[in-house]
Amino acid sequence: DVKVTQSSRYLVKRTGEKVFLECVQDMDHENMFWYRQDPGLGLRLIYFSYDVKMKEKGDIPEGYSVSREKKERFSLILESASTNQTSMYLCASRSPAGQGHYGYTFGSGTRLTVV
Amino acid sequence: GENVEQHPSTLSVQEGDSAVIKCTYSDSASNYFPWYKQELGKGPQLIIDIRSNVGEKKDQRIAVTLNKTAKHFSLHITETQPEDSAVYFCAARRGTSYDKVIFGPGTSLSVIP
């Protein structure tokens, strides 16, 4: 089975801190994603990446950046954390279309609290 | 803008009964509709999906139906069991990329033993 591993389950950071959320997948997937999950809003796409060093903005990229230096690793960066970025962050990966599986495989999430 | 609505937001059923979750989407170009189940403390997991050239798809106790004309799709769970208790998300693909997927707000399903 594909495994998507997020390095931290819970994080508490102070306003203004630079925050790194790390995600690693072990199935050689090209496509990786960062979502945030908030009650009543579902999952909203922050950034995604098709390949190493490639990134595209999702629906809510403001206040975030990403890094993909290696195929298996996709990092989400909060340049200056704010309280409205308190949320559950979910990383996902997917094999490219045409390989028979179009769904995402998600990690277990990182619950970030900014105080 | 593109939107996926999902109802109900919470649903309680007795064990053995059926559960139905309904979603509507706004983008008429959408042609791929996955459903995810999220158990407590875990990430969402794909449970079934349907493409627009199919009206219904079944996998054991789970079925999904699609009405493209009305832009509705639904998840049906029969003979519910306590382990079906979870949050369920519907989603719809936007445009031509499988990576541009918009999610509904979720339905919290409780199956009462």
Report the percent of chain A where pLDDT is more than 90.
Answer: 74
Mean per-residue pLDDT, A83-106: 84
Torsion of CA B80, B81, B87, B88, to 10 degrees: -40
Q: What is the pLDDT of residues A51-76, one digit of tens each?
A: 898 899 999 999 999 999 999 999 99
Among the partner-chain residues B4, B49, B106, the one whose CB lies closest to the CB of A103 is B49
CB atoms under 10 Å from CB of A74, counted, come to: 29
Give yes or no for a contact between A115 and A81, defined as CB atoms under 8 angstroms apart.
Answer: no
Q: Which of A35, A46, A104 to mutate: most B Cβ within 10 Å?
A: A104
Q: What is the pLDDT of residues B40-87, one digit of tens each?
A: 989 999 999 998 888 899 999 999 999 999 999 999 999 999 999 999
pLDDT of res. A40: 87
Chain B: residue whose CA lies nearest to A31: B99
Chain B: residue whose CA lies nearest to A41: B105
Say yes or no: A20 contacts chain B, CB-CB below 8 A. Answer: no
Nearest chain A Cα distance for residue B31, angstroms = 12
pLDDT of res. A2: 60
Three-state secondary-structure class, residue B84: helix
What's the whole-number average pLDDT of chain A? 91
pLDDT band at A95 (very low <50, low <70, confident <90, very high): confident
Say yes or no: B4 contacts chain A, CB-CB below 8 A. Answer: yes
Q: What is the pLDDT of residues A9-28, one digit of tens each?
A: 999 999 999 999 999 999 88
How many A-B residue pairs are in contact by the CB < 8 A criterion?
52
pLDDT of res. B2: 78
Whether A99 has a pLDDT exceeding 70, the answer reads: no
In the stretch 73-92 of chain B, residues with CB closer than 8 A to chain A read 89
What is d(CA A96, CA B71) in angstroms, rounded to the nearest whole number? 26
